[in-house]
């Protein structure tokens, strides 16, 4: 019995099948990657946790920056505060009546503030 298929065509068909199988495997791999990417996007809890971690890291870094700025300015502010305290001390020594007047004014403001708070509590 003779076969109608040519041996050259049989080799060609075999290589086409191998090529098709490779293409199928490649498409399967791409499909798996796509499914994995979609699964990650759909995982809202994991995405929220990642975002929370990123925000926490950002806040930590900002806190470090603020601490560094405060540490850098502390000596300057300490010097300014000392200078103002010395000026206030000189004023008190030169004009003791002004210091007493300022103390009375502050005391008066504190008393007024306390009365207002009591009135607000009584109304509530």
Is position 104 within any domain?
no
Is position 120 within any domain?
no
Q: What is the pTM of this model?
A: 0.38
Is position 99 within any domain?
no
Label residue 2 by pLDDT band (50, 70, 90): very low
Residue 124: strand, helix, or coil: coil
Is position 108 within any domain?
no
Is position 51 within any domain?
yes
In the chain, how many domains are there? 1
Is position 77 within any domain?
yes
pLDDT digits (tens, 9 = 90+) for 88-117: 788 778 877 777 888 888 899 999 999 888
Is position 119 within any domain?
no
Residue 8, pLDDT > 60, answer no
Three-state secondary structure readout of 28-79: HHHHHHHHHHHHHHHCHHHHHHHHHHHHHHHHHHHHHHHHHHHHHHHHHHHH
pLDDT digits (tens, 9 = 90+) for 55-76: 999 999 999 999 999 888 888 8
Residue 71, domain extent: 7-94
Is position 113 within any domain?
no
């Amino acid at each position: 019995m003779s076969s109608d298929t040519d041996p050259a065509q049989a080799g060609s068909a075999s290589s086409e099948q191998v090529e098709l199988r490779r293409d199928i495997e490649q498409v399967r791999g791409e499909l798996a990657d796509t499914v994995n990417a979609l699964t990650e996007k759909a995982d809202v809890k994991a995405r929220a946790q990642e975002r929370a971690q990123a925000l926490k890291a950002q806040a930590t870094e900002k806190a470090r920056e603020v601490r560094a700025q405060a540490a850098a300015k502390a000596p300057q502010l300490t010097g300014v505060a000392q200078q103002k305290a010395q000026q206030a001390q000189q004023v008190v020594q030169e004009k003791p009546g002004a210091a007493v007047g300022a103390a009375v004014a502050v005391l008066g403001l504190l008393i007024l503030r306390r009365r207002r708070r009591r009135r607000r509590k009584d109304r509530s």
